[in-house]
Amino acid sequence: MISTLGVSQPRSVDLLPPTLQTIPEAIGKNIAIARARTRSRIMAVVKADGYGHGAVTVARAAIAAGAEWLGTTDIAEAPRLRAAGLTVPILTWLNPSGVDAEAAATGRVDIAVGSVGELEAVLEQTSPTALRVHLHMDTGMAREGCPVHEWDALIAAARQGERQGKVRVVGLMGHLPLADQADSEANAPAVSRMRQARRAVMAAGLDPPLTHLAATSGTLTDPATHFGMVRFGAGLAGIDPSETTELHGASRLTAPVVHSATVKAGTPVGYGGTYVTGTPTNLSVLPLGYADGIPREISPDASVEIHGRRHPVVGRVSMDQIVIDTGADLVPLGTTATVFGPQDGVTPTIRDWARWAGTIPHTLVTGIGPRVKRTVA
């Protein structure tokens, strides 16, 4: 890969694996920021394994900091949280494999239903207790949730299910399609629909449901969207999609230098030789690539931190490796490089990497591969 003039260090040095470190203290600080913005209950959404940070670790830190609910994608994710001793209410609202009513009841998991068909599939099953249900209404996404013209049918079916003792409607939910704009006028149509849905539920004789609409951006920017509860997910990891609030980065991705070499000017680097050194320099290799979540397409600005200095990533990202230009420094084997971490003025942040890759931070933290060791700070 690299034209070598110098000699790389002996490989007898013990090398730590690439590591994603989760920082519970930062998660607690992010919950505190959310708490300062709302009087509503806070649900800590820990789907996608806690946005790549470890669902149990994130959940424990969030609950310790004052979150009162947990949210997951699928019922199958809940037992792990219960086994960790977490007893707060859990809501799951996507359930791509369908709802297992017995598992939901046994695990004390609330479920969301977004269509008459979904609710009927639940009512056809038997469970030891009435299932706690949140009616999921489409408030402007056309992605999930019950369309407005079917609300009456879903509410009527839920009312019938309550009479049969099979379900109990305890919640009402929707989504804000334009929350990232941090504009109350953009959110107003969804807020109006949520209020309309709540009136319809109560007019049908159901008890006033716990209503929730806002995710992280809405939590941080628009109190009118908060209702009885907010769903704080990306914010736990330090990601504010609205880019209005400075949250605390909750993870640090590091990797050891596994090879270093001195090269001459005019040396092509990596597959295709897309980068050629302009002067004599030193190059180091990190054992991370696109199989580990490093985006293959990144801008020339991408860099990592070593010993308090940023060094650019050069050449193409490989499946298993990236190359760093360390300039005049021949970096010893085993030296730790920080790919991203909490903002300190030098270390690249996850938002920096998202900008360099032309994507959003969520993609990066949820895409860190299984070869990367997970630890807790």
User: For the residues of 263-295, what is the DSSP string, one character each?
Assistant: E-TT-EESGGG-EE-SSSEEEEEES--GGGT--
Burial 16-41 (b: 16+ CB within 10 A, else e): eebebbbbbebbbbbbebbbebbebb
Give yes or no for residue 1 having a pLDDT over 50: no
Q: Where are the alpha helices (DSSP H) in the chain?
A: 24-37, 47-51, 55-64, 78-83, 101-106, 116-123, 151-163, 184-203, 216-221, 350-357, 361-366
Task: Give residue 15's pLDDT band: very low, low, confident or very high (50, 70, 90).
Answer: confident
Residue 62's closest CA among 77, 45, 78, 80? 45
Give this prediction's pTM: 0.94
What confidence score (pLDDT) does residue 16 get? 85
What confidence score (pLDDT) does residue 85 get? 98
**What is the per-residue pLDDT across 223-264, written as a single tens digit (0 to 9) for each?**
999 999 999 999 999 999 999 999 999 999 999 999 999 999
Distance CA 31, CA 106 (A): 29
What confidence score (pLDDT) does residue 185 get? 97
Bridge partners, residue 251, by sequence: 22
How many helical (H) and strand (E) elements, i.e. helices and strands, does the chain have?
Answer: 11, 19
Cα distance between the two ends of the chain: 35
User: Which residues belong to the active site?
Assistant: 47, 271
Residues sharing a CB contact under 8 Å with residue 160, sequence separation 6 or more, in sequence order = none
Q: What is the mean pLDDT of the chain?
A: 95
% of residues, the chain, pLDDT over 70: 96
% of residues, the chain, pLDDT over 90: 95
* Region of residue 114 (left: phi > 0; alpha: psi -120 to 50; beta: else): alpha
**What is the per-residue pLDDT across 117-174, written as a single tens digit (0 to 9) for each?**
999 999 999 999 999 999 999 999 999 899 999 999 999 999 999 999 999 999 999 9
Report the alpha-carbon angle 196-200-201, nearest 5: 120
Domains of the chain (ranges; CATH) run 24-237 (3.20.20.10), 251-376 (2.40.37.10)
Give yes or no for residue 2 having a pLDDT over 50: no
Tell me the pairing of strands 41-45 and 229-232: parallel
What confidence score (pLDDT) does residue 13 get? 62
> 192 and 155 in contact (C-beta within 8 Å)?
no
- CB atoms under 10 Å from CB of 230, counted, come to 28
Residue 65's closest CA among 17, 10, 24? 24
